Amino acid sequence: MKQVFLVFIGGGSGSVLRFLISKHLNGLEHSLPYGTFLVNILGSLLIGFILGFAAKNPEFSNQYVILLATGFCGGFTTFSAFAYENHLFLKSGDLISLAIYTLGTFIVGFLAVLLGVYIAK
C-alpha cells in the first residue's frame, strides 16, 4: 500500500507541474506544442538520471525510485497528449510539423535519457 501512496504523491505532483508548463507554453502563438515537448524531454532526462543513479548506488532506496521515476516522471510526462497532438497535425494536413514533432520527440527524448544516465554516473 505504501508503494501505491508513493506513486500517487509523485504522480500528482508531476501532473500538476506538467499542467502548468504545458498550459503556459502550449498557449503561445506557434504551431508546435512546445510545452508537451519540454515536459517529455525533461521527464526523459530525469528518469535517465534517477534510474542511472539508482543503478550506481544500491543504497538508494527503491521507494525513491517508485516515488520519482514511476510516480513523478510518470505523471509529468505525457504520451497521450503527444499522440493527440500528432493526430491534430495529421488531421490538419500539417505533415511537416507532424514529422518534426514526432521525430524530434523520439530522438531528443532518447538522447535525454542517455544524458541523464551519463550524468548520474
Q: Name the binding residues.
A: 74, 77
Q: In angstroms, what CA-CA distances link 96 with 36, 90, 93, 101?
A: 18, 10, 9, 8
Query: Phi then psi for 61, rounded to 5 degrees?
Result: -60, 140
Please, what is the angle between helix 95-120 and helix 34-56, to 10°?
A: 20
Type of residue found at 31 = S
CA angle, residues 114, 120, 121, in degrees to nearest 5: 95
CA angle, residues 70, 14, 11, in degrees to nearest 5: 45
Q: What residue numbers does the annotated binding site for Na(+) cover?
A: 74, 77
